[in-house]
């Protein structure tokens, strides 16, 4: 990877041998390894020691989870908040594992819609709850750094499964509890728009 970064610096018109850039290939390689470490994480291992049987059937919400990811179209960061809720049947996931789950999927090359769905699907497949809801709000640097009129725009995506899809009241309760930055809460499986890949 370091050799590729050196080549990239040259292609950008830089001198990879000048003092400030000499260690850049090493640093960039290390940064990318960290930012894509989700590929090497084992979801089962992350979750398996943290599943508990409980007698609780109300909504569990973990909100305002900070996440940082890289868009797969531009390799530029997108980042924001993730809100997760589920209604357990018999098993719950240790609360601290929910942010960890978000992190594992965020530290890959992503589009926001897929990231949202992967988090929801994993929770559904792991504990078979009555429903799962995931909402993500993110700023995409490929939009805000490049487009003059898009600096303050952010994308909202949501995945609503089971009771959150079928029961309007459950969904509204969740959306009320997380209070989105945006005026209109997303009602469909994916609302909003991630970065535009063709540009």
Q: Which active-site residues does the annotation give?
A: 71-74, 112, 140, 142
Buried b (16+ CB within 10 A) or exposed e, 120-148: bebbbebbebbbbbbbbbbbbbbbbeeee
- The residue (of 101 and 195) whose beta carbon lies closer to Zn ion is 195
Phi, psi of 65 (to 5 degrees): -80, 120
Contact residues for Zn ion, defined by CB under 5 A: 71, 73-74, 142, 195
Shortest Cβ 111–Zn ion spacing (Å): 8
Rounded CA gap, 101 and 15, in Å? 40
- The residue (of 55 and 198) whose beta carbon lies closer to Zn ion is 198
Shortest Cβ 141–Zn ion spacing (Å): 8
Angle at CA of residue 10, ends 110 and 20, nearest 5°: 90
Shortest Cβ 112–Zn ion spacing (Å): 10
- The residue (of 97 and 108) whose beta carbon lies closer to Zn ion is 108
Q: Which residue is nearest to Zn ion (CB)?
A: 195
């Amino acid at each position: 990877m370091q050799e590729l970064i050196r080549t990239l610096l040259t292609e950008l018109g830089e001198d990879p041998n000048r003092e400030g850039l000499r260690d850049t290939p090493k640093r960039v390689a290390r940064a990318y390894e960290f930012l894509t470490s989700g590929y090497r994480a084992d979801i089962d291992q992350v979750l398996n020691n943290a599943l508990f049987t409980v007698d609780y059937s109300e909504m569990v919400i973990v909100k305002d989870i900070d996440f940082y990811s890289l868009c797969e179209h531009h390799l530029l960061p997108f980042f924001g908040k993730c809100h997760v809720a589920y209604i357990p049947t018999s098993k719950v996931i240790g609360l601290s594992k929910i942010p960890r789950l978000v992190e594992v999927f965020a530290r890959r090359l992503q589009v926001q819609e897929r990231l949202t769905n992967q988090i929801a699907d994993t929770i559904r497949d792991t504990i078979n709850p009555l429903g799962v809801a995931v909402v993500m709000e993110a700023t995409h640097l490929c939009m805000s750094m490049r487009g003059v009129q898009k600096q303050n725009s952010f994308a909202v995506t949501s995945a609503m499964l089971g009771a959150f899809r079928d029961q309007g009241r459950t969904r509204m309760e969740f959306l009320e509890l997380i209070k989105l930055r945006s005026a209109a809460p997303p009602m469909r499986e994916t609302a909003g728009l991630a970065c535009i890949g063709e540009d």
